[in-house]
Amino acid sequence: MNMTTYSRGQKGKLADLGSGHVFNVDVEIAANGASVDVSCFGLDANDKLSDDRYMVFYNQLASPEGAVRLNQSPGRASFAVNLDQLPASIAKLVFVAAIDGAASMRTLGASSLTLGSALRFPWSGADFGDEKAVIVAELYRRDGQWRFGAVGQGFSGGLSALLAHFGGAEAGSSSKPAMPAPAPTPMSTPAPAPVATPAAPRVSLSKITLDKRGDKVSLDKRAGGGYGRIHVNLNWNQAAIAPPPAPSTPPPAAAARGGGFLDRLTSMAGDLAHKAGEMANKAQASRKGRTGIDLDLGCMYELTDGRRGLVQALGNTFGDYERDPFIKLDADDRTGAAANGENLFINGERFDQIKRAVIFSFIYEGAANWSVTNGVVTITAPGQAPVEVKLDGGDRQIMCAIALIENRNGQLVITKLAEYFQQQGTTSAHELMDRHFGFGMRWKTGSK
């Protein structure tokens, strides 16, 4: 089926486009260094967000029944949509993009929204001025059929203003409810009681970005203690192709597989044997023909009893969530193509057993050049604002220590590190990072 190209203001029935009710809505944005958040508002027949559970965005990645689910990566937001699962109360899905900071929509490059394989709606920052947001497109019911509209309408305010526009309110905002009217003068016939106006759904738009090296934030314990399931997500522009390295730089493949990758490590508290479970040629075969960048996520940890170790895919040291080290790496994506990147989980109910964890990433496949990855780590804990750390420094080093998660007298503190390391002779980047943070582990060449 040929994909139809829509222009601003164009509308059509999904049935006429040959689309069913289950598809992906992909929004690709050339952010040009700006921070852009893409969201979906599920509105009622009055074009209002009457149920805050139907705002799907960075702080709420799915609607209650899963009819709309968001996967994010730098420059791209992908919504998995199943219209048949939406309740009858949701009459419209509106897809919006809002820009953070001092930038405006005019700074964006050529962007687009695609609906499955049925249609594409190209748009660009050149279509706008100083607006902070854009209503990109909408899906809506009319006469019992779902239709698509390419909107492309600029909006002066950011995400908070969009929320208010759709009838919601930001949780914790300083806005005050209207004062009640004074009591009427007594009359022989009592005046009818005023009809209460439903309170606007309140949505938390909180998001914390650690911009500079050394910036830090503390998380709050949940009622009863503990931090719940702490999710560390690494995402990046997986399709990025780094420019050719300078002649003096070793070839990327050699750098990525050079000496020092872990096969065995011994901590100060004792020997920890790790044996690779896959042959290097098997890993190479799985990557045959790929040109993008594959980042691996891991961490060095120290427990409160002094034991130290490593969690990463290299060497198949995936850790354990329920038992020590209470840190577990999700299955490594060997293709580097997973939309939700790489994920690590920390058992926040056992955080009293963890002294510190250095979250790191290294370039396992592709040219060593952090400037093209647009990498970002997001750390989330239940009921708390997500914490973002961008991999916005470095050059051609292979290793980045991203963030430090530490236990300070029971308080969970996150600090941006942004420290980059490159192999020096036979000393691996892993070992150099270890020395820098004083873990004191021994290293020997290995593979995954």
CATH of the domain at 400: 2.60.60.30
One domain for residues 350 and 227:
yes
pLDDT at residue 181, rounded to an integer: 38
pLDDT at residue 431, rounded to an integer: 92
Q: What is the pLDDT along the chain (448 residues), one digit of tens a residue?
A: 689 999 999 999 999 999 999 999 999 999 887 889 999 999 999 999 999 999 999 888 899 999 999 988 878 899 999 999 999 999 999 999 999 877 899 999 999 999 999 999 999 999 898 999 999 999 999 999 999 999 999 998 889 999 999 998 887 644 433 333 344 444 444 555 554 445 666 777 778 889 889 999 998 887 777 899 999 999 887 655 444 444 333 333 223 333 333 333 333 333 332 333 332 333 333 333 445 678 899 999 999 999 999 999 888 899 999 999 999 998 755 444 556 789 999 999 999 999 999 999 988 877 667 877 878 899 999 888 889 898 877 778 889 999 999 999 889 999 999 999 998 988 999 999 999 999 988 876 555 4
One domain for residues 306 and 418:
yes
Domain assignment of residue 349, yes or no: yes
What is the number of domains present in the chain?
2
Q: Residue 231: which H helix or E strand, with range?
A: strand 229-235
Give the residue from 150, 166, 182 where a domain finishes: 166
One domain for residues 216 and 358:
yes
Domain assignment of residue 76, yes or no: yes
One domain for residues 299 and 424:
yes
One domain for residues 221 and 315:
yes
Domain assignment of residue 446, yes or no: no
Domain assignment of residue 284, yes or no: no
Paired residues of 415 in beta bridges: 216, 404
**Is the Cβ–Cβ distance between 59 and 72 less than 8 Å?**
no
Domain assignment of residue 89, yes or no: yes
Domain assignment of residue 411, yes or no: yes
One domain for residues 307 and 381:
yes
Give whole-number Cα distances, 94 to 8, 45, 160, 294, in Å. 15, 13, 15, 33
Give the residue from 105, 136, 166 where a domain finishes: 166
Give the residue from 114, 143, 166 where a domain finishes: 166
pLDDT at residue 195, rounded to an integer: 47
One domain for residues 133 and 222:
no
pLDDT at residue 59, rounded to an integer: 87
One domain for residues 89 and 213:
no
Domain assignment of residue 448, yes or no: no
pLDDT at residue 367, rounded to an integer: 62
pTM above 0.85, yes or no: no
- 153-178 in b/e form (b: 16+ CB < 10 A) is ebbeebbbebbbbbbbbbeeeeeeee
pLDDT at residue 311, rounded to an integer: 95
pLDDT at residue 444, rounded to an integer: 65
One domain for residues 327 and 230:
yes
pLDDT at residue 446, rounded to an integer: 54
- Please state, in angstroms and rounded to a whole number, the distance separating the CA atoms of residues 417 and 361: 12
Question: Which residues span the domain enclosing 70?
Answer: 4-166
Domain assignment of residue 282, yes or no: no
**Is the Cβ–Cβ distance between 430 and 312 less than 8 Å?**
no
One domain for residues 313 and 224:
yes
Count of CB atoms situated within 10 Å of the CB of 182? 6
- Please state, in angstroms and rounded to a whole number, the distance separating the CA atoms of residues 297 and 330: 10
pLDDT at residue 250, rounded to an integer: 33
Q: Is 383 left (phi over 0), alpha (psi -120 to 50) or beta?
A: left
One domain for residues 132 and 230:
no
One domain for residues 95 and 162:
yes
